[in-house]
Amino acid sequence: MLDTLRILWDNITSINNLLGNKIMTDINYTAEMVATIEAAQPLDLAKAKALGAQLDRGYRSIIAKAKREGFEYISKPAPAKKKAAPSKADMVAAICAAVDTDSLDGLEKATGAALNKLLSSLA
């Protein structure tokens, strides 16, 4: 009877492992580690990297644990993308200055490439 139960348990464990389910999970963070992360609130990238070195964990793991526990994390905002080319209004103003006129109505509706060609041909 005991052998039958052991075989059944082994089969259940094998099926769970195949499905990716864990019966028992390892504890990656102790209560002291979680308390250390909580004390460092609000977290940012620099603090997460420092805590990662201190707790021997990756900074991404620290950030994920903080978010999972509901701790405050301030993410770095994405930098705004800047245009390298001048705006159409700037190009029209430069064309007006090159032609020595006050206004060229409707020219701002032209494509940027066309305005750039016109400006370079006038210069």
* CB 104, CB 92: distance < 8 Å: yes
Q: pTM value?
A: 0.47
**Per the domain annotation, does 4 fall within a domain?**
no
The whole domain housing 117 covers 88-122
Residue 13 inside a domain? The answer is: no
67 and 104 both lie in a single domain: no
Over the stretch 19-67, which tens digit does the pLDDT of each residue have? Answer: 665 555 567 888 899 999 999 889 999 999 999 999 999 999 999 999 9
